[in-house]
């Protein structure tokens, strides 16, 4: 049986009338037939470059329809797509290159020289470029080739993508997602969110993470829907598009920013069917203000890179704030203590899950994979949850030391290591503090060596060489010492309490 995800996406998306596909706002539409043709030419290029199924294609490019073609081309030809946040620095990229060992790297033209050197160092034979308009050497070369129209026959366990997600202790781990993981999740979401013919999706998310790449694109393609494709979030543009759209997906920051715009009204949302939020907790306050202003109850769902979407509030039943709803069909969920012992109704514990959406393990890291699974195959999410009598889940915290800022993950440990390596720094702690725009904002506490000549500015500048800017703490405090418990562990809770309102007056 053909279990290549692209087979399913192609079959369903090509049912649309010819002009449907990605509509570049203020520009032309790249139809699903165009996407199919572009992906087939890219598949031909892979063949010309002697890439074989299973080879990794590492991609760090801006959002464009051609970037979507590249993703679909990888699926179609059996390559493993490895997307990276465009904010990652050359230092971060060097790690992803050596870990994933791609045969092809596609990057922005301005980064190409540096990346060619890195690629040569690890033996990646090909580096091609793609700019924010989708132009560059990749499309130049693919455009001259005939389309390779077949779709490689794959099994559901074959890998479709590796998405990097950081661990709590150190370097990022590559979560291996199979065609079956992705297609089972896409089909379930398409069904439970009640997609109907004529639905139009506003797509303003980045396409290097699960939310924008898989959840949004796959469900819209399964529905052969028009996608209003924005390069990035822009509140004014989105509000202008709302009367033409029926579905929008976003991180909570999208919703708080929309609420700051007086043009967001009941009338602007008259055509909308569904607003979906995820990737970070949606505050009750945001949920309620949005309902008052627009008449819509945002549907909150919960997921993670390793498993795609895990739970969702119901389309037709009660959508409750501060809950993430019920496990998706086919997803089994239980709440357990740190030893994996199941807890009862309403008890707080770690969510453990099993299902066709759960990934195949971490790339070349069997020990890390083993550590995150129970013997009976349940995956330990690291999220602290409570499940009520009906099976409805609320995320109440995280067992993992993680900050989620505007939907991006910031791993304190990774940032602390970089700060600690700076001259003059004795030690540091990084925590997340409630932030009105980003949900949580990272804050750094730094203990300096005596006579060190270090300022907040000098730390931020130094970190910018090694860390993506969204990971750099928004504020730093210089302290004489970090609060520690009797075991010597830094008491981040105390810092979180003491500094809880430092972002109170920060606007979007």
Neighbour count for residue 370 (Cβ, 10 Å)? 11
CB of 16 to ligand MCA, least distance (A): 25
Looking at beta carbons, which residue is closest to ligand MCA? 406
CB of 368 to ligand MCA, least distance (A): 18
Nearest CA to 35 out of 69, 6, 64 is that of: 69
Q: Is the dihedral of CA 368, 374, 377, 381 positive or negative?
A: negative
Contact criterion met (CB below 8 Å) for 212 and 163:
no
The answer to whether 82 contacts ligand MCA (rule: CB under 6 A) is no
Q: How far apart are CA 353 and CA 6, in angstroms?
A: 26
The answer to whether 250 contacts ligand AMP (rule: CB under 6 A) is no
Contact criterion met (CB below 8 Å) for 490 and 429:
yes
Count residues near ligand AMP (CB under 6 A).
Answer: 18
Among 64, 184, 223, 279, binds ligand MCA (CB under 6 A): 279
Out of ligand MCA, ligand AMP, none, what residue 181 binds, judged by CB under 5 to 8 A for its kind, is none
Among 31, 178, 246, 253, binds ligand MCA (CB under 6 A): 253
The answer to whether 189 contacts ligand AMP (rule: CB under 6 A) is no
CB of 85 to ligand AMP, least distance (A): 10
HEC-encoded secondary structure of 115-167: HHHHHHHHCCCEEEECCCCCCCHHHHHHHCCCCCCCCCCCCCCCEEEEEEEEC
Q: How far apart are CA 322 and CA 300, in angstroms?
A: 8
Out of ligand MCA, ligand AMP, none, what residue 65 binds, judged by CB under 5 to 8 A for its kind, is none
The answer to whether 245 contacts ligand AMP (rule: CB under 6 A) is no
> What's the Rg (C-alpha) of the chain?
23
Please identify, using beta-carbon distances, which residue of 398 and 460 lies nearer to ligand AMP: 398
Neighbour count for residue 412 (Cβ, 10 Å)? 23
294-333: which residues touch ligand MCA (CB under 6 A)?
303-305
Among 246, 357, 405, 409, binds ligand AMP (CB under 6 A): 409
The answer to whether 470 contacts ligand MCA (rule: CB under 6 A) is yes
The answer to whether 180 contacts ligand AMP (rule: CB under 6 A) is no
Q: Which stretch binds ligand AMP (CB under 6 A): 58-66, 230-238, 300-308, 430-438?
A: 300-308
The answer to whether 260 contacts ligand MCA (rule: CB under 6 A) is no
Please identify, using beta-carbon distances, which residue of 372 and 383 lies nearer to ligand AMP: 383
* DSSP one-letter string for 301-360: EEEETTTEEEEE--SSS---TT--BEEPTT-EEEEE-TT--B--TT--EEEEEESTTS--
Among 293, 398, 413, 460, binds ligand AMP (CB under 6 A): 398
203-222: which residues touch ligand AMP (CB under 6 A)?
210
The answer to whether 349 contacts ligand MCA (rule: CB under 6 A) is no
Q: How far apart are CA 281 and CA 404, in angstroms?
A: 9
Name residue, tokens 């600690």: 420
HEC-encoded secondary structure of 67-134: HHHHHHHHHHHCCEEEECCCCCCHHHHHHHHHHHCCCEEEECHHHHHHHHHHHHHHCCCEEEECCCCC
Contact criterion met (CB below 8 Å) for 406 and 438:
yes
The answer to whether 212 contacts ligand MCA (rule: CB under 6 A) is yes
Neighbour count for residue 374 (Cβ, 10 Å)? 14
Among 303, 355, 406, 473, binds ligand AMP (CB under 6 A): 303
Q: Which stretch binds ligand AMP (CB under 6 A): 23-31, 108-116, 136-144, 273-281?
A: 273-281
Nearest CA to 380 out of 337, 345, 413 is that of: 337
Q: Which stretch binds ligand AMP (CB under 6 A): 38-46, 151-159, 295-303, 439-447?
A: 295-303
- What three-state secondary structure class fits 208? coil
Count residues near ligand MCA (CB under 6 A).
Answer: 22
Please identify, using beta-carbon distances, which residue of 42 and 182 lies nearer to ligand AMP: 182
The answer to whether 183 contacts ligand MCA (rule: CB under 6 A) is no
The answer to whether 251 contacts ligand MCA (rule: CB under 6 A) is yes
Residues that bind ligand AMP (CB under 6 A): 165, 210, 278-281, 300, 302-305, 324, 381, 383, 395, 398, 404, 409
Residues that bind ligand MCA (CB under 6 A): 205-206, 209-212, 232-233, 251, 253, 278-279, 303-305, 405-408, 438, 469-470
């Amino acid at each position: 049986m053909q279990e290549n995800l692209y087979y399913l996406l192609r079959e369903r998306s090509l049912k649309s009338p010819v002009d449907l596909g990605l509509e570049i706002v203020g520009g032309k539409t790249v139809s699903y037939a165009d996407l199919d043709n572009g992906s087939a030419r890219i598949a031909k290029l892979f063949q010309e470059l002697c890439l074989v199924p299973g080879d990794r294609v590492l991609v760090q490019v801006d959002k464009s329809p051609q970037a979507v073609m590249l993703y679909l081309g990888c699926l179609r030809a059996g390559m493993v797509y490895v997307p990276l946040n465009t904010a990652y620095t050359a230092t971060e990229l060097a790690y992803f290159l050596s870990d994933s060992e791609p045969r092809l790297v596609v990057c922005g033209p301005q980064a190409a020289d540096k990346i060619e050197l890195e690629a040569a160092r690890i033996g990646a034979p090909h580096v091609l470029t793609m700019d924010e308009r989708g132009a560059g050497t990749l499309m130049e070369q693919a455009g001259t080739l005939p389309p390779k129209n077949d779709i490689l026959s794959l099994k559901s366990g074959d890998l479709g993508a590796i998405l990097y997600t950081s661990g709590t202790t150190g370097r990022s781990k590559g979560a291996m997602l199979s065609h079956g993981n992705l297609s089972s999740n896409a089909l379930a979401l398409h069904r439970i969110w009640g997609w109907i013919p004529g639905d139009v999706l506003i797509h303003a998310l980045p396409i290097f993470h699960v939310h924008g790449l898989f959840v949004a694109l796959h469900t819209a393609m399964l529905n052969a829907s028009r996608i209003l494709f924005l390069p990035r979030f822009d509140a004014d543009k989105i509000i202008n598009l709302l009367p033409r759209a029926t579905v929008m997906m976003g991180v909570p920051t999208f919703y708080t920013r929309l609420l700051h715009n007086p043009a967001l009204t009941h009338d602007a949302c008259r055509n909308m069917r569904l607003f979906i939020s995820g990737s970070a907790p949606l505050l009750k306050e945001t949920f309620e203000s949005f309902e008052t202003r627009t008449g819509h109850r945002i549907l909150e769902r919960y997921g993670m890179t390793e498993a795609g979407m895990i739970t969702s509030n119901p389309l037709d039943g009660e959508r409750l704030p501060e809950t993430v709803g019920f496990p998706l069909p086919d997803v089994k969920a239980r709440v357990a203590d740190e030893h994996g012992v199941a807890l009862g109704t309403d008890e707080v514990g770690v969510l453990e899950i099993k299902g066709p959406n759960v990934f195949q393990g971490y790339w070349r890291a069997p020990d890390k994979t083993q550590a995150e699974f129970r013997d009976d195959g349940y995956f330990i999410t690291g999220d602290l949850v409570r499940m009520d009598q009906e099976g409805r889940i609320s995320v109440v915290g995280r067992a993992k030391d993680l900050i989620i800022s505007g939907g991006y993950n910031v791993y304190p440990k990774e940032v602390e290591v970089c700060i600690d390596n700076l001259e003059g720094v004795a030690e540091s702690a990084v925590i997340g503090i409630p932030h009105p725009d980003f949900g949580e904002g990272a804050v750094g506490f730094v203990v300096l060596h005596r006579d060190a000549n270090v300022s907040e500015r000098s730390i931020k500048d130094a970190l910018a060489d090694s860390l993506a800017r969204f990971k750099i703490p928004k504020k730093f405090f210089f302290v004489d010492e970090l609060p520690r418990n009797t075991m010597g562990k830094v008491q981040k809770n105390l810092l979180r309490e003491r500094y809880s309102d430092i972002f109170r007056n920060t606007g979007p």
